[in-house]
Every structure is written in C-alpha cells, then in structure tokens.
Structure 1
Amino acid sequence: MGQPIKILIVEDEMIIAANIAMQLRELGYEVTAMVSRGLEALTHIRKNPPDIVLLDIQLKGTLDGIETAQLMQKEYDIPIIYLTANADDFYFNRAKGTHPFAFISKPFKKLDLQHAIELTANQMMFRNNPKPNPTEAGKASFVLSDRIFVRHNEKMIKVIIKDIYYVEAERNYCKIHTKDKVYLLVTTLKDMEEKLPTGHFLRIHRSYIANLAQVDEVSSSHVVISKKAVPMGKGLRSKLLDRLHTI
C-alpha cells in the first residue's frame, strides 16, 4: 500500500520551517517534525527515521547543517536536500562532501520545493544499496532498498517492495500491482527487471515480473497471485519452480 514520503525539516527560523511544512502537506507529503538544532535532528532521526531530510546549512547552535549531515551519515543513509540563504563557495564546497541530492536557495517557490523532492525521490528509487550480506554472496549482484517511489494523484508516494504483487508492461509504461492499488510508472519492464531485487522477483513472461513471495499457485501456463491469473511464458515453469524452492 502506498504511503506518503516522510520529511524532516531542520530549520532554525521557525516561521520559515512552518511555511515549508504547510507547503509540503499541501503537496501530500508527511512532515515528521520541525526542529531547529542539529542535535535535535539526530535525536529525532534515531526515533523516527524520515525518507528525506530538508536541512538548513547554516544552523545555529553546536552543529551547523553540514556537521549534522556528517554525523547523520555515520548511522543512516537518508537523502539530504540543503536549504541555504548563502550559496558561497565555502559552504558549497563543504556541503558537497556530504553528497546532497539537491540545494534549494532561499527564498524559494513552492514549485522549487516540489521539483527538488521529486528529483530526490526519483534518484532514490533506482539507487542501489551496496551493503552485501556475506552469507548472500553470489545470490544477487546488488540489493535494492526496500521501497520505490511513484507518482500517484499528482504527488510522489513510496511503495514498499515486498507489498508488490507483480509488474505488468504496457508499452513504455509499467503497472505496479499491489494489494490496494495499481500504480503507473514511466519506465520499461526491462528497466524494472534490472532494478528490482533478483532474489525476490522473476520475469515470468515478456510482459510480467512476479514477486515470488506472493505466488499462490503455479499452473502450466500461468501463476496465481492474489486470485489473479498472471501469464507465464513457455519453458519458464521449471525455472520458476527452482526459484520458489530456494526462497
């Protein structure tokens, strides 16, 4: 089931923070908190990790925004969008070392905020997580994070990968079928096949990728997933059964 993207705002000007929060909620995102200091942000992240952090570079207090990001990144891999009223080379070059997904210069428009978040979500969607488990070596070439981000009703929402039933090709689009909704994604099935974790998903037909954990029945020409018959290509049944035996 789709969920709103969760965003933490770290901004020491509370009027600005409140305005950002209002705009984010209007865009359909969830604001987990508004905090004004770096140490507060780190405490909040440990209790309720967001999907994205909007972080003022020039925070007051013990830690500025860049130092806060550096400490956060020792424990978490959460995308950062920097907010800045001062884009001089000193701060910019320091900030680059934390690999932010975007910079937003104050004052900014609602559209600037929307675009920065959507670009970040798109990058997150197909970003590999290069942290292989030694016991899983050789089973997959990479491990994707546990979610993807899709546009639905004019906003970006996250879909947890394990909740996907199957993916269906429709020309240059893909339909992602979950328990409650169908999401349309502007990408090809080939691209989806390359990005989904190979340990759990298998292309069973030229137009379908199945989540192996969701397969209820296997027939000679199709599989059943949540009472839906999904076509299976000729000669793929044995491969599918082999994979089902290993999960």
Structure 2
Amino acid sequence: MSDKLKILIVEDEMLIGANISLQLNELGYEVTGLVPRGEDALKHIENQLPDIMLLDINLKGDLDGIETAIEMQKKHNIPIIYLTANTDDAHFNRAKETKPYGFISKPFKKLDLQRTIELTINQMDSKGKKSAEIESQNNNSFLLSDCIFVRHLNSMIKVDIKDILYIEAERNYCRIFSNSKEYLVVMSLKEMDDKLPSKHFLRTHRSYIINLSQIKEIAATHVVIGNKALPVTKSLKEELLKRIQTI
C-alpha cells in the first residue's frame, strides 16, 4: 500500500492533465486518476478517495468544476485546489463559496504546483478537515490524528501512526521508525510526545516514545519492539503496565 499523498486530477484538456500528472509523479505524489468530467470525478471518489483534488473550474459536461466541488462536499471533505485560466470576479466569488485551499492560474510552473500542494497540507487544520489535528514544524512535518506527513526529497510522505514502531530523540530532531522505513523529523521528542495520541503512545524514557500496540515483550528494564530492546525508566514502568492492560 502506497504511503504517498494521493491526488486526483480533474481536467478536460487531456494534454494539460497529462503534464500535471507527470509533474506530480516527479514531485513524489501519487495520482489516483486523471478524469475529464465532474461526473467522472464523483464516481472515482466513491472507489478511491484522494487526499487532495486538483479541479479545473471550467469543465465541460453537465457539471463545471465548482458544481462538482459542491456535489463532492455533500459526502466528503477533500481539500480542493482549483485550476483556472479564467480569474474574473464572477468565477472567483462562486469558487470561494466552496472554501478551496488554493487557486493555480494557467499556465503555471512546477514550483507553483509544489508550493500550493504543500501550503494545502499546512492549511488543513485551519480549514477544518475532519479528524485532522495538524501541526507544522519548520515546514518539515505535518502531524494529523491518524498519520504524519514527513518531508522526503521534494515531496511529503504519509506515515500511518499505526505503523510507527517507536520514536527516538536525536538532539532537536526525532527519528521515526516504522515497519518498513525510518524518517528524520525536525521536532523535539517533547513536542512529538505532546502531539501524538496518548491512547497508543507512551514516552518510556527521555530518549524514546513507543507504540504500545507494537510491544512484543516486557522485561524488567526494557521492552522489545521489532528486534530492538528499548529502555523503560523505573518510574514509568507502572504506567506502562497499566496502559497495556487497557489496550
């Protein structure tokens, strides 16, 4: 299963759409689909929910881009970035009612696309995305209630919280160890501890936060997660045992 940010492109000029898809792939994002009509976009969403929609305002067909957004928002809360070659007040005011996360005017550069997507992730909390509690630190990571977005090369990679094994302090950074990879995040362990859901995570040592559901063994002075023994401070051992009983 891919951990990349998923983006749906809704664009009726297929050459433009294909170029956008190529740019998104180069930036490290996953394109879930390229569809030319609003009706097609609504069907696509029911089968594969994207994280973000890039939506052309001036779609041909029964629904233009703004009408597509209105229909989508009756069931879903997917962040919208509008693509438009028409920036007149009438279109802007109609589009504004759907509370988009951004506008990209055609023609645009790859950097415009990249920055708008990253700003969209950063705005999710203030725009009220359901189930999202997003914090940013130096534009390097974005923490949600069920996942964390971390920067990798030129893109943001999504790591599901349930897949995190443990987190280790590294000066003013945190190193996140997941089932398959590890990531370095510009955030202190204390900040990470404050933001992670306490139901699943516990700071057992000044240098470690563990995912309680990933524990394989509990010993007198440590726990085993994966193939690693992680220290448990004596004062936190009782709390650890209490929390294990409630999982």
TM-score (norm 2): 0.85
Please give the alpha-carbon distance, in whole angstroms, between the structure 1 residues aligned to 2:20 and 2:129: 30
Q: Which consecutive segments of 4 or more residues in structure 1 shift more than 3 A? A: 121-131
Structure 2 residue 239 is matched with structure 1 residue 239: yes
TM-score (norm 1): 0.85
Q: Once the two structures are superposed, what CA deviation does each residue of 1:45-93 show, in whole Å capped at 9, x if it has no partner?
A: 1011112111112222222212212221222222221112223333333
Kept after mapping to 1: 8 A contact 2:9/2:54 = yes
Note the residue ranges of structure 2 that are not aligned, 5 or more in a row. Answer: 133-143
Please give the alpha-carbon distance, in whole angstroms, between the structure 2 residues aligned to 1:224 and 1:125: 35
Which residue is equivalent to 1:164?
164
Q: Once the two structures are superposed, what CA deviation does each residue of 1:97-120 show, in whole Å capped at 9, x if it has no partner?
A: 333222211111001111122233
Kept after mapping to 2: 8 A contact 1:121/1:156 = no
- Partner SS for 1:63: coil
Note the residue ranges of structure 1 that are not aligned, 5 or more in a row. Answer: 132-143
Q: Once the two structures are superposed, what CA deviation does each residue of 1:174-211 show, in whole Å capped at 9, x if it has no partner?
A: 11101221111122223322332222112222322211
Which residue is equivalent to 2:214?
214
Which residue is equivalent to 2:88?
88
Kept after mapping to 2: 8 A contact 1:2/1:160 = no
Residue identity in the other structure for 1:20: I
- Change in CA separation of 1:212 and 1:108 when aligned onto 2, cut-off 3 Å: same
- Partner SS for 1:74: coil
Cα displacement (A) at 1:37:
1.0
Please give the alpha-carbon distance, in whole angstroms, between the structure 1 residues aligned to 2:190 and 2:81: 30
Please give the alpha-carbon distance, in whole angstroms, between the structure 2 residues aligned to 1:201 and 1:97: 39
Which residue is equivalent to 2:202?
202
Please give the alpha-carbon distance, in whole angstroms, between the structure 1 residues aligned to 2:145 and 2:210: 18
Cα displacement (A) at 1:16:
0.8
Cα displacement (A) at 1:94:
2.8
Give matches, 1:34-73, under 5 Å.
34-73=34-73
Residue identity in the other structure for 1:246: T
Kept after mapping to 1: 8 A contact 2:77/2:129 = no
Please give the alpha-carbon distance, in whole angstroms, between the structure 2 residues aligned to 1:81 and 1:115: 12
Structure 2 residue 11 is matched with structure 1 residue 30: no
Structure 2 residue 134 is matched with structure 1 residue 112: no
Q: Which one scores higher on RCO, CA 8 angstroms, separation ≥ 6?
A: 1
- Partner SS for 2:74: coil
Which residue is equivalent to 2:13?
13
Residue identity in the other structure for 2:11: E
Q: Once the two structures are superposed, what CA deviation does each residue of 1:103-158 show, in whole Å capped at 9, x if it has no partner?
A: 21111100111112223334459977459xxxxxxxxxxxx543221112332221
Percent of residue pairs bearing the same amino acid type: 63
Please give the alpha-carbon distance, in whole angstroms, between the structure 2 residues aligned to 1:222 and 1:129: 37
- Change in CA separation of 1:125 and 1:86 when aligned onto 2, cut-off 3 Å: same
Residues paired across the two proteins, number: 235
Which residue is equivalent to 1:181?
181
Please give the alpha-carbon distance, in whole angstroms, between the structure 2 residues aligned to 1:64 and 1:162: 39
Residue identity in the other structure for 2:51: D
- Partner SS for 2:233: coil
Q: Once the two structures are superposed, what CA deviation does each residue of 1:4-47 show, in whole Å capped at 9, x if it has no partner?
A: 22211001111110110111112222211111111110100101
Please give the alpha-carbon distance, in whole angstroms, between the structure 1 residues aligned to 2:183 and 2:124: 17
Kept after mapping to 2: 8 A contact 1:124/1:148 = no
Residue identity in the other structure for 1:201: F
- Partner SS for 1:19: helix
Please give the alpha-carbon distance, in whole angstroms, between the structure 2 residues aligned to 1:124 and 1:2: 21
- Partner SS for 1:216: strand
Please give the alpha-carbon distance, in whole angstroms, between the structure 2 residues aligned to 1:210 and 1:112: 38
Cα displacement (A) at 1:173:
1.7
Please give the alpha-carbon distance, in whole angstroms, between the structure 2 residues aligned to 1:185 and 1:128: 23
Residue identity in the other structure for 1:37: R
- Change in CA separation of 1:59 and 1:153 when aligned onto 2, cut-off 3 Å: same
Which residue is equivalent to 2:151?
151
